[in-house]
A = this chain, B = another copy of it.
Amino acid sequence: MGEATGGRPFNAEAGTALKAAALQLVRANGYDNVSIAAIAKAAGVARQTLYNRWATKADLILEAVFEETHAYAAEPDFDTGRDCRVLLEEFLVNVFKHLEIDGDTLRALIAAAQHDSGFQASFHAGFVKPRERMITALLVRAQDTGELPSSRNPETISTLIHGAFWYRLLNKGALNSAFAREIVSNIFD
């Protein structure tokens, strides 16, 4: 059932062009200053074609940003033999570096998730949760190596860490390497 036989195929170029146009326009003008119509026009495509692929503006932008994000929030490499606190600090510095570029867009996506529980679910499952798990895993390892007291709960600490930078992001506080150092030293010391 539901096996598609026949029918006009998706135009792959249209999807690519939409993501590229979306990312470029949003970075240049800000999420709220870019209309769906403008993205479609810049991509040279009808507005409805966009809605054929993504349910909302937020879904499109998330996908566009997401594809660029793997480079930044890569899983920390455990096998370099370095301390977990160093790995955590590096990870945070990388994330903050990405947020210099897409932080405003991320803020807008977090806001969009508050209006739309469908988007909230996919944002959380595809973006938020995986990053939370990376840090939890790192903290579990830190307990194995004895860097982090076993009295701590890695999941709670992970929530504290993510929360801290969400809080800074949403309140437009500074997200720089000094803050990364602060977080790490207040968790590990």
Q: Spell out A's residues near B (CB within 8 Å).
A: 32, 107-108, 110-115, 120, 124, 128, 149, 151-153, 156-157, 159-168, 170-172, 182-183, 185-186, 189
Contact = CB atoms under 8 A, between A and B. Distances in A.
Contacts of A115: 32, 108, 111
Contacts of A183: 156, 160
A120 B173 CA distance: 12
B156 A167 contact: no
Given A107-B114, A165-B163, A157 B186 contact: yes
Contact of A163 (B114, B160, B185): B160
Contacts of A108: 114-115
A50 to B, nearest CB: 21
Q: Is the interface of A mostly helix, strand, loop or mixed?
A: helix
A159 B163 CA distance: 8
Contacts of A110: 111, 114, 170
Contacts of A172: 120
Q: Give the residue among A115, A151, A152 with the most B Cβ atoms within 10 A.
A: A115
Nearest to A114: B111
A172 B107 CA distance: 17
Contacts of A182: 153, 156
A13 B183 CA distance: 48
A38 to B, nearest CB: 17
A72 B156 CA distance: 24
B171 A124 contact: yes
A151 to B, nearest CB: 5
A68 B149 CA distance: 41
A114 B167 CA distance: 12
